[in-house]
Amino acid sequence: MANEAKVLTIGIVGGGQGGLEMLKIFAQSNKTKVLFLVDRDPQAVAVEEARELKVPTPVDLVKAIQQYPADFIIEATGSPKVLEILQQNKRPGTEILSSQAALMFFTVVEENRRHLNGSVFGKISHIGEEIVSSTTAIKRALSAITQVAFNLEMLSINAAIEAARAGAHGRSFAVVAEEVKGTAGQAKNLVNSIEAINNNNILMSGELEELLAQLA
């Protein structure tokens, strides 16, 4: 059995918006694990998000580097001094990504996300349009079937009345009238079943619209 792909470990330095975006990207992936996020400000946006995600948020940069053996450390502050500290204190085997490299990475990921969302948006929109079109057609068909069922029911009632008037001579006619009535009942049941399916399609269409709103 093939070995599972290694999960890459990530350290993030910087609790601002850049650090927050990096945290969101790597925390959502099952191929990476964020080991820590460092910032001196405990109220920084990325620090608060890291706490929500149960990611350690040490304030001492050098200690964090030594304590958490990350494969990659992302410098998200844009400070040359912080980058220098990282280069001087990194563990063997740890790669340091500068804020410029992180920004480039984020830009590429964001462009790919938008492209994918646009493609998915178009496909879901088309499916939604097909569902709406089918729902409308089904409603028209149900209306026609309902009318047929009503006509059959009226026909069976009239036939039963005529059979009763004919007495013994109308027994066979009464049997036919009963069959027509049964057919009308089956038609009504069919309408109810199709209506249930159609209502489910309408619910699905609403869910698709919600998904589209999230992708927009």
Query: Where do the domains of the chain lie?
Result: 8-97, 115-215
Strands 32-38 vs 95-97: parallel, antiparallel or unpaired: unpaired
pLDDT at 177: 65
Entry pTM: 0.52
CB 60 within 8 A of CB 68: no
What pLDDT does 52 receive? 93
Return d(Cα 205, Cα 132) in angstroms, integer: 7
Beta strands 32-38; 72-75: pairing state: unpaired
Tokens describing residue 9: 């470990």
pLDDT of residue 4: 56
Please count the other Cβ atoms lying within 10 Å of the Cβ belonging to residue 117: 14
Cβ-Cβ contacts under 8 Å for 74 (sequence gap 6 or more): 10, 11, 12, 13, 14, 19, 22, 97, 102
pLDDT given for residue 51 in this prediction: 93
DSSP 8-state assignment for residue 167:
G
Indicate the fold that domain 115-215 takes in CATH.
Helix Hairpins (1.10.287)
Note the pLDDT of residue 112. Answer: 63
**Can you tell me the distance from the alpha carbon of 83 to that of 14, in angstroms, rounded to the nearest whole number?**
11
Enumerate residue ranges in the chain where pLDDT < 50.
1-2
Q: What is the pLDDT of residue 212?
A: 63
Write down the pLDDT at residue 1: 43
- Look up residue 3 and give its DSSP letter: P
- CATH H-level, domain 8-97: superfamily: NAD(P)-binding Rossmann-like Domain (3.40.50.720)
Cα separation, 192 vs 147, whole angstroms: 13
